[in-house]
Amino acid sequence: MSTYTQSAACVVCAHVSVLNEEGVCRLCCKQATLARARDKRAGWLEVRRQGQQLFIANLFSSRYRGAPIPARRRPRPAALAPPAHHQPVLFETARTLTHRGGWRGLAKRADPQLAAWVDTFTRQRKTRYGWSKDLTWRARTGTNLILGFLDAPGARPTAEDLHVLRQANLPYAHVSAILEDAGLLTGERTPALTRWAHQLTAHLPEAMAREVQAFFTVWHEGSTTPPRSRPRSETTIRLYLGWVLPALTCWAGEGKTSLREITTADIRRTLPPPSAARSNMVQGLHALFRFLKAHRLTFTDPARHFPVKRPDQPLPMPLDTTPIRDALNSTDPARALLCALLAFHALTSHQVRRLTLTDVDTAAGTVTVGERTIPLADAVLDRLTAYLDHRHRRWPTTNNPHLFVNLRTATGTTHVGPRWLNLHLGEHLTSRSLRSDRLLDEVHAAGGDAKRLAILFGLSITVANRYTATLHHPHLREQPP
């Protein structure tokens, strides 16, 4: 950078001015900058050839080096909570992303003061769960998009309005949690199981769909009035409704409008040949008609004449050791630990996915599952230590208490799903097959001791006897050590 100190005549223009160390004034230096080519420096004689260009003094600061001066940032709007009153609107508008400016335009349409107030809850969750800059931006944009739908002071978004976030690929769960923390979300979200049940019965006649929906509601929520009933799990409900759906579809196609019209002959004509599918359908129809008769929605139970004949379960067989060895020696620490826990200690998928960091004691070499404390094998302990190091490096700021986390659960507190577990195990392995292989190995190592098997792995006697029945199987008599 040139320093202008002396005042004398410029060697180029001969004007008296403040000169640099080369004896050139500021005006000639700026003129030389304009005449300078890309590959060479213009001489001082070439500067005067095209005349002089005047400049306004003191606008060429070394701070910006010719770059445009950045615009002054707008002050952040003051955070203002929503008013307690609600001004109703004249017309209700559809919540879509067909706005002229798109979903980004809707996000800019939000009330600045209300958005600043909601943003405090976004920053709290960012600090609590260690969100990245990208996730924080997407969550903030999603909340502003929902706030952009509000057309009147005091209006509140509903849970159904949040479904538009999926069209913009914005985090639905995080935005919903932020709005719930702020107390802005109204209405209850429809569970995925309820939406699935409504879609399942949409093609049925109105009376028949109403009867099936009553069965689903009691099984899903339970009943405290006689006849009392406890709520069933989501898996049980999906299985039973899936078993009876082919029969319901067939009866609707025959012109039946209600389950009161179903007779024993109708059921006999609908049942498939003797197989596992027939047993499952009979079991589902038993539960459905037993419920309808108990709640006085039908007069009789036409399914009572069909006993449930369970097919013989196949005997468990050992797995090929090649995919197990590949999974145990995998470079992915999560896959290696998953396979080790299932292959060495026969944990279930439910137990593995819900393991927390407090359940694992690396110093004592144990893992706590329910009321059982399981000593870990050395191979499992080595893979557990490697995975914990990988987890700390990959997600150093996560507050998820579970042992296994992924990109989706690292920003919250939920556990991983069964699909993540199956994808990590690989194509030829499942949690059930690994557990079955371990139980089968223990049966042959203990000489068919069912009590030992039940105590060691927490099995019932019925399940333990199913594995001990394989002791004298011709293909399993000679086991390698």
- Provide mean pLDDT across the span 382-401: 93
Minimum mean pLDDT range among 33-37, 79-83, 414-418: 33-37
Cβ count within 10 A of residue 127: 11
User: pLDDT tens digits, residue range 173-185?
Assistant: 899 889 988 888 8
User: pLDDT tens digits, residue range 68-119?
Assistant: 556 667 777 878 788 777 777 777 776 777 655 566 677 777 888 888 899 9
Minimum mean pLDDT range among 16-30, 156-170, 245-259, 358-372: 16-30
The secondary structure of the chain, three-state, reads: CCCCCEEEECCCCCCEEEECCCCCEHHHHHHHHHHCCCCCCCCHHHHHHCCCCCCCCCCCCCCCCCCCCCCCCCCCCCCCCCCCCCCCCCCCCCCCCCCCCHHHHHHHCCCHHHHHHHHHHHHHHHHHHCCCHHHHHHHHHHHHHHHCCCCCCCCCCEHHHHHHHHCCCCCHHHHHHHHHHHCCCECCCCCHHHHHHHHHCCCCCHHHHHHHHHHHHHHHHCECCCCCECCCCHHHHHHHHHHHHHHHHHHHHCCCCCHHHCCHHHHHHHCCCCCHHHHHHHHHHHHHHHHHHHCCCCCCCHHHHCCCCCCCCCCCCCCCHHHHHHHHCCCCHHHHHHHHHHHHHCCCHHHHHCCEHHHEECCCCEEEECCEEEECCHHHHHHHHHHHHHHHHHCCCCCCCECCCCCCHHHCCCCCCHHHHHHHHCCCCCHHHHHHHHHHHHHHHCCCCHHHHHHHHCCCHHHHHHHHCCCCCCCCCCCCC
Domains of the chain: 1-72 (no CATH), 102-182 (no CATH), 193-305 (1.10.150.130), 321-468 (1.10.443.10)
How many residues does the structure list for the chain?
481
Q: Are 108 and 77 in contact (CB under 8 A)?
A: no
Which two structure tokens, joined as six digits, stand for 239? 């299985």
Q: Tell me how far apart the alpha carbons of residues 432 and 319 are, in angstroms, rounded to a whole number.
A: 11
What pLDDT sits at residue 38?
47
Is the pLDDT score of 431 beyond 50?
yes
User: pLDDT tens digits, residue range 121-149?
Assistant: 999 998 888 888 889 999 998 898 888 88
Q: What is the pairing mode between strands 16-19 and 6-9?
A: antiparallel
What pLDDT sits at residue 480?
47
User: pLDDT tens digits, residue range 221-244?
Assistant: 998 888 888 999 898 999 999 999
Is the pLDDT score of 207 beyond 90?
yes
